[in-house]
Structure 1
Amino acid sequence: MSRPARATWHSCRVSITNSRPIRASYTGVVHPEETFRETRLPWRREARCVLASRTRSTSPCSKTDNRQGKPMVAPLPFSSSFYLPALFLLVVATAAAAVDSAGAASLDDEPPVGLELALTAIDHDDPAGFRHALDRVEETQHGEVIRRHLRTLWLLDRVNEEPAAVAAQLREYPEDPMMPRLKRRYLDYLADRSAWGEYRLVFDRAPEITPGAKRQCVYWQAEIEIEGTLAGEQPEAALATWERGRSQPKACDPVFDWLEAHDYLDEQAYRERIRAAITAGQDGLARYLVGRGPAGLATYRDRWLALRDQPASAVAERIDVEGDGEEITQGLLWLAKQDPARARSLRQRASRLELIDEAQSASVSRLAALKAAYRYEPQAFEWLQEVPVSARDHEVWTWTVRSALRHLDWSRVKQAIDAMPEEIASEREWRFWHAEAEQRLGRTTAARAVWRTLAETPDYHGFLAADRLGIRYPLPENTRRPDPPSAQTLAALQARPWLSLAFALHRLDRPEDARRLFNHALADVPEAELPALAWQADRAGWPDRASVVLARMEAFHAPQWLSTRFATPYRSLVEAQAERQSIPPAWVYSIMRRESLFMRDIGSGVGASGLMQLMPATGRWINRQAGLGLAPLRFDDPGTNIALGAAYLARMAERFGNRYPLAIAAYNAGPGRARDWLPAVPLPGDVWVDTI
């Protein structure tokens, strides 16, 4: 069974309640696939589910801008679990109207005069209109900064026409938030014109950028053209670029020619790149390198292809001939993904013959044990415990517990958590399961003491702990909004030019630039002004930025911020589509918050688009299957996107017998994976959740 990357899939936290809390592990049972269609989880009045991201990052909300490839949401140091969809219901039912600070200047006031005119002129390539708009902007508060920003936006699409103005803008305002984009475009302009001296000067000056392979290679070419050679660490850096396992931009060819002319591309370098190409699945590149490089590389390539494609026999053959340890290790790692037991057996043999060192052996032992654990194989616990301490990372420690938990072996659960490093054992998930193991082993007093502490915090394991104790969840009876900030604090925020401009761009529906300017300005906002900024973002209908500020404030569980953290934007659209599809709107909001943090214009690394983050192919499929008749499919349109997402969630709920935890797992990771995660025998729901 293949598993998704840990950073891209999420488990569904299940808690089942009746008129009073019931222990989820006793009543929520996940059944094996053979009884899947006939058996339902015994939902009572309400099922509570939360999506949790098991990543090393503390941010469950980091997304990537689909054009720039940069984080558009600051990492959020949330706990490893999110709140329940029920909390959205609490917020919707009790949220009070926001109260303005009387007479205070506000960041969400009308945008400055001329700003919208200037943006329209930029969009329509209207120089006269742009100049007129700039004159009007100059008369407003922060007019100089707004004018600079607009001038940069104008130049971004006119580098070819106004290169001198671009160069001047970069020299004068290198710290402005849009300058990295302008610098990249100006470098491309200079490269096209072989302006080597200017290219090198601009490349080395602020602002600092991540140049990528193409611009870095052009810089090295500029060095060669001007100095006649590469010096210092440059040749080795260029060689490392050449040795990558994928084809590099054509702009790198002159640099690679220099490397070849100066004898850097020897047989060893070709071997390194062939191996990297085969590892990356770039067999065509490997074939090209064999034809271009020194004689005899075909045998080397074929050996690596065999290690990748037939690892069991190829590794055994390399051991028989006492081959290279690096080749044997990589072959064993490939084999561990297919046949962990066979990989362990061959690893032991290679170790006895001293063909691989301790670190190489440990890496194979680690991967084989983890793959067995991912497949819930009964021997996984012993294998994970055999992994040398030097190779035990967070994944090994936690899956050692999960492998015992999946088989309801409470002695081993306790043993594995007791052996964890303190920083991992102190995580709330493992504190909860350690207490559960104590309870199952007869030490009820100790277990209940831990649960009482956990139940004070309204997160997933806090809710489970409350279930175990039979007490109410630690949620407020009513939500309330925070008190409005003082006029003085609001004025201080308004006085920050980039922040003020960010809110103006948000109001004018320029979300990407608005977020970029907001993030730029946020770094300089003092702690004392953060509550006012969160209040202001919430008031402006900007829930994703409000969440970013709350994360920095660490105000996750403060009752006055619940309606801000769990906002309900696009409420009429969500409720209409939820009613149309006969699904709870709170579940739609839960997915929307987790998938996109309510942003409509962001994209995931695999091509999903905003809000509920459906892949385009999935969106087209559900549009046909559900008979929505939406055309054209504009995924950045909230109405279209929410309609598609709600229909797909409804289809997953239908497919999984209206068991929403399974439906949401299927929504996020695909129905095939959700079925793969079903246990071979009935399993308590909370155990299933924490072992997928």
Structure 2
Amino acid sequence: MTKKYQIIQSESRVNRKTSVQLLHADVWNGISFVVLLMGLILSQAGNAFAASQEETFIAARDAYRSGKIDRFNEYAQQLDGYVLQPYIAYWQLQSHMAEATPAEIRNFTTRYEDSPLADRLRKDWLVRLGKAQQWNFFLSEFPALLNADKDVTCYAYQARLSLGNKVVLQEAKPIWFDGSDLPTSCSPVFDALMAEGLLTSEDVWIRIRLALEAGNVGVAKAVIQYLPAGQAPDARTLDRIVDNPHQFLEKNTLNYKSRTDRELAMFAIYRIARTQLVQAQTDWEKIREHFSAAEQAYVWGKMAFYAARVHDPVALNWFKQVDNASLNDSQLGWKVRAALRAQNWPEVLESIQAMSVVEQRNAVWRYWKARALSAQGKVVQANAIYAPLSKETHFYGQLANEELGVVVGNPTESYKASEDELKAIKNVPGLRRALVLYQLDLRTDANREWAWAIRNFDDKQLLAAAELARRNEWYDRAINTADKTVQLHDFSLRYLAPHRDVMQVYANQWGLDEAWVYGLIRQESRFVRLAQSSVGASGMMQIMPATAKWIANRLGIKDFRGHLVNELDTNISFGTYYLKYVMDSLDGSPVLATAGYNAGPSRAKRWRDNKAMEGAIYAESIPFNETRDYVKKVMSNAMYYSNRFGQKLITLKQRMGTIPGKSNGSDPEQGEGD
């Protein structure tokens, strides 16, 4: 064979081989294309089917809510096996709850025990059994209820009383001491307490006081009926005192030997003290000699409480009229705050030590107790409190760390859930339901499902669930879930920072600290873009409608429409502008601006003292519980975000700064958000 022939033959074999390879490649490419096409078709069909099921579910829900049960049942038949099947089954049972059998109820609660619907249905069933006084069924089902409210609890007491168990009355008595409007199921229990002589007239007066202090005059009127004959005041008298307490004292001749008239007079005095401290003191001085030492202590305590809440210096003098043992924890708390503003550290320490053991365990009082000890030179005792407190990751834990000489950053060690852990978490039925409900914008049910599913999770499961929520852009659940860990933590999940591309633009434009802005949004909305508050505030930065219009006008935006405030860019633009405006109007103080953003600039200004004050003391003495908690959390959040963003670390005390006295700053212009 010649060399030329060998070459030709070799080329021929190569060409044949190449042709076969190309043929095989074409075949496989064709098969791959078909497989890919089929996959896309099946995927689209699956998505369409899922979308169809979601639409059917919403239609079923709407039909149930509107009472169109026949139409609801038609939709229900199409949803067999759907991930939200428990809700269909729940509505089906609710539609004929009056005729439901114990077997049906137990079948549902057993089958769907991994859903909050099981406990909700069990509670509904127990209320029905209680109303019908079917105590045998009630007692067999009640132990399985996980979340018993006062209504069901009182039915449980009734059930046990039906068996002749009168020992239960001692267990039930604490429910009586509540100033709120209790459910009607509690009335038979209270009647039994009265019949057995376990409710004294003193107990009745205590509850009347609790109701009046809480502003629940209607409850007080209802409780009056339990007083002995001759002691019950005319219910209309309570209304007259509410309308004009000073006039009541001026125009009525009271018999101070009567418990009833003394109670009415005391009610009138502290009603006046809510708004007119000087008038209250004047009226009280005229009549206080007619009252016992205990009654005088009660009135002085109430007056001092109201004085402390408006930062009147007279508060401490009035508190001195009362032995600490006669003050409740709430009053002692405000005595501490008044003493902090006066820099009276011995009074701070003494008042904290007078609190109940449970109250003293709260981080706020542990911190201020340590500060009071340190101020009096008892550094070793103070450090013994700071040391364990510094291991806690909240506002007071951070401050305690700094008192020990440590600037707090985010922990360097962070646990990250593995893909296997995430895969396992994705398959938890409750979380699957929660995510579908979230995608359907049924946020209340979604949040309930999520909370129920994670209630017994360990730290690793919590962090995997938090990461799952983050990947689905469900930021509030991610943060709240990561916040629950005890030993293992992931602070990047606790302090998420979505939308930084937008945030940095506006933070830089208005010269705001990005970490502080993120700290504020985390507290405002947990980054829920369509968040809506009970008072109408909208979006991530929770802007009120009137404030949004005011900002639009200030920015020269014409034809502004209210719904635009929910758009991400607009919400951040408006929110950061207003935050900058508030800060500029309040001496450039982030603490004052944070308080002003939440409660209004004029209030933040009014809460200052005549002299300069430590920022932490200003925050501690804010009268509104919500705003006081808000300021602490925002400033604490800012520390963690600052570390996450790689900013230069400064102490929380430095962030809190010193709040200038009223005489040192100009009055801020009052914006629409005030």
1:315 maps to amino acid:
L
| Unpaired stretches in structure 1, ≥5 consecutive residues | 1-109, 138-145, 191-195, 214-218, 220-243, 247-273, 287-298
Picking from 263, 273, 296, the partner of 1:336 is 273
1:483 maps to which residue? Answer: 416
Residue deviations 1:379-430 (CA, integer Å, cap 9, x gap) = 3224224434454233222222222221223343344445445544454444
CA distance in 2, matches of 1:612, 1:166: 49
1:315 paired to 2:252: no
2:409 maps to amino acid:
L
1:597 paired to 2:534: no
1:661 maps to which residue? Answer: 591
2:303 maps to which residue? Answer: 368
Picking from 475, 479, 487, the partner of 1:543 is 475
Check the 8 A contact 2:84/2:433 in 1, yes or no: no
Secondary structure in 2 matching 1:665: helix
CA distance in 2, matches of 1:586, 1:394: 35
CA change 1:575–1:410 in 2 (3 A) is same
CA distance in 2, matches of 1:166, 1:123: 28
Picking from 147, 167, 177, the partner of 2:116 is 177
1:596 maps to amino acid:
S
1:611 maps to amino acid:
M
Check the 8 A contact 1:117/1:133 in 2, yes or no: no
Check the 8 A contact 1:350/1:356 in 2, yes or no: no
Structure with more contact order per residue of length (Cα contacts < 8 Å, sep ≥ 6): 1
Kindly state the Cα deviation for residue 154 of structure 1 after the two structures are TM-superposed: 8.0
CA distance in 2, matches of 1:320, 1:162: 56
1:263 maps to which residue? Answer: none
Check the 8 A contact 2:363/2:389 in 1, yes or no: yes
Once the two structures are overlaid, the 10-residue window that deviates more, 676-685 or 121-130, is 121-130
1:412 maps to amino acid:
E
Once the two structures are overlaid, the 10-residue window that deviates more, 544-553 or 330-339, is 544-553
Kindly state the Cα deviation for residue 619 of structure 1 after the two structures are TM-superposed: 3.4
1:121 maps to which residue? Answer: 56
Check the 8 A contact 2:56/2:75 in 1, yes or no: yes
1:502 paired to 2:434: yes
Secondary structure in 1 matching 2:263: helix
1:92 maps to which residue? Answer: none
CA change 1:309–1:680 in 2 (3 A) is farther
Secondary structure in 2 matching 1:611: coil
Check the 8 A contact 2:532/2:538 in 1, yes or no: yes
CA change 1:628–1:444 in 2 (3 A) is farther
Picking from 286, 304, 313, the partner of 1:378 is 313
Quote the RMSD (CA, aligned, Å): 5.9
Residue-pair matches, total: 522
Kindly state the Cα deviation for residue 583 of structure 1 after the two structures are TM-superposed: 2.6
CA distance in 2, matches of 1:425, 1:432: 10
Higher helix share goes to which structure? 2
CA change 1:578–1:155 in 2 (3 A) is farther
Kindly state the Cα deviation for residue 367 of structure 1 after the two structures are TM-superposed: 1.6
Q: Give the TM-score of the pair, scaled to structure 2.
A: 0.59
Check the 8 A contact 1:381/1:403 in 2, yes or no: yes
Check the 8 A contact 2:525/2:542 in 1, yes or no: yes
Listed as ranges, the matches of 1:134-533 within 5 Å are 134=80, 137=82, 146=83, 148-149=85-86, 151-152=88-89, 172-174=107-109, 176-178=115-117, 303-315=237-249, 317-319=252-254, 325-340=262-277, 343=280, 352-353=289-290, 358=294, 361-389=296-324, 391-442=326-377, 459-465=394-400, 467=402, 471-476=405-410, 479=412, 481-485=414-418, 487=420, 489-490=421-422, 492-506=424-438, 510-525=442-457, 529-533=461-465
CA distance in 2, matches of 1:480, 1:407: 42
Kindly state the Cα deviation for residue 663 of structure 1 after the two structures are TM-superposed: 1.0
Once the two structures are overlaid, the 10-residue window that deviates more, 608-617 or 164-173, is 164-173
Check the 8 A contact 1:484/1:535 in 2, yes or no: yes
1:566 maps to amino acid:
Y
1:586 maps to amino acid:
A
Check the 8 A contact 1:435/1:447 in 2, yes or no: yes
Check the 8 A contact 1:458/1:475 in 2, yes or no: no
CA distance in 2, matches of 1:282, 1:409: 35
2:546 maps to which residue? Answer: 617
Residue deviations 1:519-573 (CA, integer Å, cap 9, x gap) = 2222354566334333433444333223333343335xx6x51111111133334
2:319 maps to amino acid:
L
Secondary structure in 1 matching 2:425: helix
Listed as ranges, the matches of 1:555-634 within 5 Å are 555=487, 560-601=489-530, 603-609=532-538, 611-626=540-555, 627=557, 630-633=560-563
CA change 1:474–1:505 in 2 (3 A) is same
1:312 maps to amino acid:
H
| Unpaired stretches in structure 2, ≥5 consecutive residues | 1-44, 61-71, 156-178, 182-207, 221-232, 623-674
**Rg larger for:** 2
Check the 8 A contact 2:483/2:494 in 1, yes or no: no
Kindly state the Cα deviation for residue 580 of structure 1 after the two structures are TM-superposed: 4.6
Kindly state the Cα deviation for residue 473 of structure 1 after the two structures are TM-superposed: 0.8
Residue identity over aligned pairs, in percent, reads 26
Check the 8 A contact 1:630/1:640 in 2, yes or no: no
